[in-house]
Structure 1
Amino acid sequence: ILRKILIAYYSHSANTKRLAKLISNKVNGELFKIEAENAYPVNYNEVVERAKKEIKEGYNPDLKIQVKNIEQYDTIFIGTPNWWNSIAPPVVTFLKSIDFDEKKVIPFCTHGGGGFGSIEAQMKKLCKNATVLEGFAAYGGTSNELQLEEWLKKVD
């Protein structure tokens, strides 16, 4: 059976995008950029305010596009920045729109010191019927390629 791998990610400052591309190159997966219809401001303080409010209110922004033919993928890496211990709201919207029956979900995140926070637990809750594997957390824009490769071997 040919496995199809999707790497879906949301990235505001390019850190998560960089990690998604690294993973994609190593596992030969297709990249899918999760984008909010109403893009987040570039200004850091404005992003902080909007994202904090959305997370607190449980708001899920509409997305620009959805993945076509999600059923063709059996493994889905899901990347998000750690925003206040949480999954970025556009990623929550994405997760709520998918049927994860018989899919393997592999979370990854970038953070400024908070590690995974409650992201793995949230993913397990949102990805009903999926097998959620151990995730990978990278600090900022750095990623230790050796650690990344060891993690990928573990979750393969």
Structure 2
Amino acid sequence: MKKVLTIAAAVTFLFACNENQEKTNEQPCLTMGKSAVIFYSQTGTTALVARELAKQTRAELVELQMTTPYPSTYDSTVSAVRIERENKSWPALQKARFDLSKFDTLYVGYPVMFGTFAPPLYTFLDSNELSGKYLVPFCTYGSGGRKSSSRELASLASNARSLLSFGISKRRVLSPNTDLTKEIRNFLNLVRAGIQEEERLASFGDSQELSGKDSSVFASAVKEYAYLNLQPIRVAKDSAGTGFLFSCRMRAFGAEENVTVQVFKSLSENGEAELIAVEK
């Protein structure tokens, strides 16, 4: 598998690389310049990620707040968002337009809703000029949506330079077993190295048929996601033996789709298999 720079090499080279360093022959990294973390958070989960990103990048923190917040119940919020998407009528923000001229890099965060970013982000994108900026999407979700939402964000902000995106489930953000600081630090190392999406998965081997152990790992990881109706077909594993990429068929909302399910399972026999994301 071809790759310009492996993820392991990127992490090794970039531990000493910070947001304000110039690119040098000895320390290859993107010069990110002055940064802002701009985010919408409905329940506070995305805000936790945003604050950690801002802390590590020394960025200015900007929260997008709706003029009229979504209802407090899940079903009512789903109904409101569905109507907004069907009508392409995006919610008003308390402040929608910002002076972004002083920023070189924008970390833009949101919860995933209906497979893409939350509607308040459309209002922000319609109201601001992002041309020439580095754009780093980050999101929280129930089961997935990082790749699909970041693709749409890149298409709507086509004059910006979209970089690698970060995504993490709400379950993992709130878990005491998750080291969010470390995960974001590792992600930022990849961003500064200029790693692209296809290189991010370079540590996974070729796809192969499922073994009995693979099937058990999958079943354990998705046991609380029965509503997705996931059927594993093949699997690729990383060199450490802890990462799994399952090629699956999903029939969650009537239509059958091909998806990739990423799972982490520690080498310990007692370690729980953990669903990382479901991506189209």
Give the TM-score, by structure 1 length.
0.92
Q: Which amino acid aligns with 1:130?
A: A
Moved more, 48-57 or 107-116: 48-57
Contact 2:97/2:127 (CA < 8 Å) preserved in 1?
no
Greater shift in the superposed pair: 133-142 or 144-153: 144-153
State which drifts further: 135-144 or 26-35: 135-144
Moved more, 123-132 or 140-149: 140-149
CA contact (8 A) 1:32 1:67 kept: no
Q: Is the contact made by 1:11 and 1:17 (CA closer than 8 Å) also made in structure 2?
A: yes
Is 1:151–2:193 an aligned residue pair?
A: no
Question: Match of 1:89?
Answer: 119
Corresponding residue for 1:66?
A: 96
Q: Which has the larger radius of gyration?
A: 2
Q: Note the alpha carbon deviations across 1:6-32, whole angstroms, 9 max, x for none.
A: 101000010101100010111011111
- For residues 76-120 of structure 1, the C-alpha deviation after alignment (integer angstroms, 9 at most, x for no partner) is 000010101011111111012111121000000000012415201
In the aligned structure 1, how far is the partner of 2:129 from the partner of 2:62?
17
Q: 8 Å contact 1:85–1:117 — kept in the other structure?
A: no
Mapping for residues 1-156 of structure 1, pairs under 5 Å: 3-116=33-146, 118-140=148-170, 142-143=172-173, 144-156=180-192
| More RCO (CA 8 Å, sep 6+) | 1
Greater CA deviation, 7-16 or 44-53?
44-53
What is the identity percentage for the equivalent residue pairs of Structure 1 and Structure 2? 26
The number of residues matched between the two structures is: 156
> SS of 1:125's equivalent?
helix
Gaps of 5+ in 1: none
- Measure how far apart 1:2 and its partner are: 9.0
Q: Cα–Cα, structure 1 residues 67 and 21, in superposed 2: closer, same or farther, change >3 Å?
A: farther
Q: SS at 2:72's partner residue?
A: coil
CA RMSD for the aligned pairs? 1.8
Question: Per the alignment, in what secondary structure is the counterpart of residue 70 of structure 1?
Answer: coil
How far is 1:128 from its partner? Answer: 2.5
Tell whether the 8 Å contact from 1:107 to 1:136 is kept in structure 2 after alignment: yes
In 2, Cα distance between the equivalents of 1:113 and 1:69?
Answer: 34
Matched residue of 1:6: which SS? strand
SS at match of 1:152: helix
State the alpha-carbon separation in 2 of the partners of residues 67 and 31 from structure 1: 15
8 Å CA contact 2:38, 2:108 repeated in 1 = yes
Q: Please report how far the alpha carbon of residue 122 of structure 1 lies from its aligned counterpart in structure 2 after TM superposition.
A: 0.7
Deviation at 1:154, TM superposition (A): 1.5
Tell me the distance in 2 between the aligned counterparts of 1:125 and 1:67.
20
| In 1: Cα distance, 2:144 partner to 2:157 partner | 22
